[in-house]
Amino acid sequence: MTEQTAPPFYLDCDTGIDDALALGYMLASPEADLIGIGTVSGNVSAADGARNTLDLLELAGHSGIPVALGAHDPQAGSFGGGAPHVHGRNGVGDVELPASKAELAPETAAELLIRLAHENPGRLRVLAVGPLTNIAEALRLEPELPRLVEDITIMGGAALAPGNITTVAEANIANDPEAAADVFAAEWNVTLVPLDVTMTNVLEESQRQELLSEEHPFPKALGDMLGYYFQFYLNQFGRACSALHDPLAAAIAVGGIQVDTAPVVHVEVDATSGPGRGQTICDMRGRYMGYPEQPGARCRVVLSLAEEFPPHLVDTLRSGWAQSGREPEELALAAG
């Protein structure tokens, strides 16, 4: 499939180490045409996430893709400072990326999403791997958005798995439950990639070494960042490895990896101030009957994969850089 026929994607992210992996996957995959990116506060501030995104695009040789700054604060309250213990002080594992000279797009993330949806009516696909603040804002600004876009894939939440930021809540959803509630209530087709499947498909040290062994500075930088990420997951898994939240959502959105159990069910977000705040309440009561159809449900919740994800991710991230705008040697020079 050529870039012309690949579906256009808008990516909303809070870059972030696993956001960087998702970005790399979208750039490397021939099945996706990434035409715009918005950032939101989450792993880092929206501004730091935009800076990281611009630098990563430059390093990958894709500096022409517009990056728009999105919301700094969630709908309720204010940005809590991110997760430096997971993603490093700079959000990319304290790896120093060569600074891009590219400028931010002259519109907000929500405005960029809406513009791209109008320019690609019925074709634009949305991949959201951060808090859903920008997406909810776009829904408010353009109520027709659900009919303008093809679908939305969201990394977030937990269906039958434990949470990661509270007992039952996952970080992306918990960072802005009100926005998430709006997004899940909108009338569009959602694919949710929750902790159930992102915590059970794990990248190992040998696979990180494959990225580090690449000559191109982009996959090498991803391997470097993962060193920091692996340290955080040492306490989660008992060994140096990592979950693959955002890149798995990217691969499922793009169709690069096939899902196994993925029922379409009703999903509601707990936006109370109680102990369940930020939980994605997915109606999995049909599990004992093989998940019969739920009339009116629009959210496909991915619980398991039909194939191994980590090797596919590594293969994809090692390829795809030959067609970049700049030569690897030039990029290596810039990176030095």
Is residue 85 annotated as a catalytic residue, yes or no? no
Enumerate residues 176-205 that contact a second copy by CB under 8 A: 199
Contact flag: residue 236 with a second copy (CB under 8 A): yes
Q: Which of 315, 248, 253, 280 is nearest to 10 (CA)?
A: 253
Out of 206, 213, 258, 272, the residue judged to bind a second copy by CB under 8 A: 272
Residue that the structure tokens 């880092």 belong to = 44
Contact between 27 and 319 (Cβ < 8 Å): no
Q: Which segments of 214-266 are extended strands (E)?
A: 241-242, 264-265
In three-state secondary structure terms, 173 is helix
Point out the catalytic residue in the list 62, 216, 245, 312: 245
Contact flag: residue 23 with a second copy (CB under 8 A): no
Residue that the structure tokens 């519109």 belong to = 107
Contact flag: residue 288 with a second copy (CB under 8 A): yes
Is residue 270 annotated as a catalytic residue, yes or no? no
Q: How many CB atoms lie within 10 A of CB 205?
A: 13
Enumerate residues 108-167 that contact a second copy by CB under 8 A: 160-164, 167
C-beta of 182: minimal distance to a second copy in Å? 15
Residue that the structure tokens 């700094």 belong to = 72
Q: Which of 247, 255, 140 is nearest to 203 (CA)?
A: 247
Q: Which stretch binds a second copy (CB under 8 A): 89-97, 131-139, 230-238, 253-261?
A: 230-238
Q: Cβ closer to a second copy: 274 or 296?
A: 274
3-class SS shares of the chain: helix, strand, coil, % to 5:
40, 15, 45
Q: Cβ closer to a second copy: 5 or 273?
A: 273
Task: Report, as residue numbers or ranges, the catalytic residues.
Answer: 14, 245
Point out which residues bind a second copy (CB under 8 A).
160-164, 167-168, 199, 236-238, 266, 268, 270-276, 279, 281-285, 287-289
